[in-house]
Amino acid sequence: MDKTTLYLDSEDYRRLKRVAYRRRVAPAILVREAIADYVARHDTVRAARSVGAARCGRAEDIFAGFVIDAGRQWSIKAGYRFLKGGANNDAVYAFAAVHYVAAGVVFRF
């Protein structure tokens, strides 16, 4: 926890202490709660709540590959895949692009 100093009007500070006394907590706890509530309401960049938090978005998934028979029991395969997608709305802002190449050998027995 970080420490900071706040300057309050005398009347606001008296009211804060009165509420804290009635709730039987320290005034600092009320200040932390108030700041947490304010930030939660006004912070415009929010983390995704879960997978699929965005109601609308887009995705593109492109794959190109080939298989070469290298004999009666063997074949070689390779491919390239490009995956891009994301969403931009009030709930989430997230985009990603992934490129990868895959290769493999197949043995049939």
Segment 6-34, tens digit of pLDDT: 899 999 999 999 999 999 999 999 999 99
pLDDT of residue 60: 86
Segment 53-62, tens digit of pLDDT: 445 677 888 9
> How deeply is 20 buried, as exposed, middle or buried, from its count of CB atoms within 10 A (0-12, 13-18, 19+)?
middle
> Whole-model pTM?
0.40
Q: What are phi and psi of 5, to 5 degrees?
A: -120, 135
Where along the chain do its domains lie?
A: 10-42, 58-107
77 touches 103 (CB < 8 A) = yes
Mean residue pLDDT across the chain? 85
